Amino acid sequence: MGVELQREKWVGRVTPVTLGATAAEGGTRGHTITVGGETTLPFLHFEGQMPHAPVTALEIWDMPPADWPPLLLDAFGDAVQDPVSWAKKCVDEYGARLLCLRLASTAPDGQNAPPEAAADTVRAVLKAVDVPLIVLGCGDFDKDNQVFPKVSDAAAGERVAIGIAEQNNYKSLVASCMMNNHVILSQAPIDINIQKQMNILITEMGMPPERILMDPTTGGLGYGLEYCYSIMERIRLGALQGDKMLAMPLIVFPGQESWRFKEAKEPESAAPQWGEQYTRAISWELTTAVALLQAGADVLVFRHPEARRQTERYIEAMMAPAGVEA
C-alpha cells in the first residue's frame, strides 16, 4: 500500500525580478536574469513551482582589496588591479553570468574617490562585458548619497541592481533607481520586521515590488548562520503565506561573509591543525552558500570562482527534477 505524500498549499508567490536589459529593452546586455516566482519552499518541486533557478555572481572591486588573503587574490592575479580586466576574467575565464561591482574606492576613510570616478568605472565595466550588473556603494551614507545618482545615470537603461538601501538611507537611492529603471537592494539587519518596513517605505515612494531585491544580511558558517537561516526562512514563509511586502527575492553574500573569518583566511603555516587552506576556505564559502540556498536565497554573490562553480553544480542537481535549466 502506497503512502500519500502530504503537500502544503501556499497562497503566495515570490515576485519575479529581472536584472539586466538587452538591446530590445533599451540596454546593451547580452542576456537578462530573472529570479523569484517561487510558489514553494526551496527545491520542493513536488509542492509548487520554482520557475527560475537561483543565480550566482562573482564580486569585483574598483580597487585592489587590501584585506583579501593571498589565496583569494591568486584566483584573479593581476586582474585585481583594474576592474575592467577583473570583470573580463570573471566572465571570459570563469563563466560568470552576473557580476557584483563594489565601489570601495569611494570610501571617505580610504581613497575617497569622487562620484564621477565611480560613474566612469561603472560605464567602463558595462562596456567591457555584457552580463547584468549589481553595483554596491562603500557603505558610508553621506558618500553613497553622492555616488548613487551618478552611478544610476551612468547605467541608465541597463536595469542594474544598486545598493544598499537601509532604513536611514534609502530615499535618494529609491529616487535614482526609479528615474533610470534600475533594481534596488533593500537591506535590514537580520530583522524580519525591519525588512518588511523597508519594503513598505520603498514601495510607498513608488518603486514597484518587481524592482526590489531583499538583502536580509547574513553570517557565515560558524558565525551566526543558524540565526540568519531562521530569519530568511521566516521571510520566505511570509511570502508564501501571502505577505506581499516579504515576497521579493533574496540576495545574499556568502563570499563576503566567509572570507572575513580566520578559518578561511589562515594559511596552513599558521593553523596546521585545520588542514589545507584551499580546501578549507572553498568549503567554508560553499557550505555557507548551500545553507543560504536552502533558506531561500535567489541571488548569491561569491568571491572565489571555485566556490561559485561548485555551488552552480549543486543548484543544477537540485533544479533537475523541475526541468529548469540552472
Q: How far is Cα 195 from Cα 235, in angstroms, rounded to an integer? A: 9
Q: How far is Cα 69 from Cα 71, in angstroms, rounded to an integer? A: 5
pLDDT tens per residue across span 52-61: 999 999 999 9
For residue 54, tell me if it sits in a domain.
Answer: yes
For residue 67, tell me if it sits in a domain.
Answer: yes
Q: What is the pLDDT of residue 2?
A: 67
pLDDT tens per residue across span 13-72: 999 999 999 999 999 999 999 999 999 999 999 999 999 999 999 999 999 999 999 999
Q: Which of 16-30, 204-218, 265-279 has the lowest mean pLDDT?
A: 265-279
- Read off the pLDDT of each residue in 186-210 and give the average, rounded to a whole number: 96
Nearest to 112 by CA among 82, 142, 133: 142
For residue 23, tell me if it sits in a domain.
Answer: no
Mean pLDDT of the chain: 95
Q: What is the pLDDT of residue 79?
A: 98
pLDDT tens per residue across span 88-128: 999 999 999 999 999 999 999 999 999 999 999 999 999 99
For residue 127, tell me if it sits in a domain.
Answer: yes
DSSP string for residues in 290-324: HHHHHHTEEEEEESSHHHHHHHHHHHHHHHGGGT-
State how far Cα 312 lies from the chain centre: 14
Coil, helix or strand at residue 87? helix
Amino acid at 158: E
Nearest to 214 by CA among 62, 72, 15, 37: 15
Coil, helix or strand at residue 20? coil
pLDDT tens per residue across span 276-288: 999 999 999 999 9
Nearest to 251 by CA among 292, 223, 213, 225: 213
For residue 325, tell me if it sits in a domain.
Answer: no
Question: What is the residue whose three cell numbers read 571555485?
Answer: 306
Indicate the burial class of 118 (C-beta count within 10 angstroms; 0-12, 13-18, 19 or more).
buried
Q: Residue 89: give its domain's CATH number.
A: 3.20.20.20
Nearest to 228 by CA among 267, 169, 269, 187: 187
Q: Are strands 55-61 and 99-102 parallel, antiparallel or unpaired?
A: parallel
Q: How far is Cα 210 from Cα 161, in angstroms, rounded to an integer? A: 12
Domain limits for position 55? 38-316
For residue 18, tell me if it sits in a domain.
Answer: no
* pTM of the full structure: 0.95
DSSP string for residues in 102-161: E-GGG-TTTT---HHHHHHHHHHHHHH--S-EEEE--S-HHHHHHHHHHHHHHTTTS--E
Domain count, the chain: 1
pLDDT band at 326 (very low <50, low <70, confident <90, very high): low
Sign of the alpha-carbon dihedral angle for 74, 80, 85, 91: positive
For residue 22, tell me if it sits in a domain.
Answer: no
User: Does residue 1 register a pLDDT over 60?
Assistant: no
User: Does residue 270 register a pLDDT over 90?
Assistant: no
pLDDT band at 136 (very low <50, low <70, confident <90, very high): very high
For residue 311, tell me if it sits in a domain.
Answer: yes
**What b/e string do you get for 155-178 counting C-beta neighbours within 10 Å, with b at 16 or more?**
bebbbbbbbbbbeebbebbbbbbb
User: Does residue 237 register a pLDDT over 60?
Assistant: yes
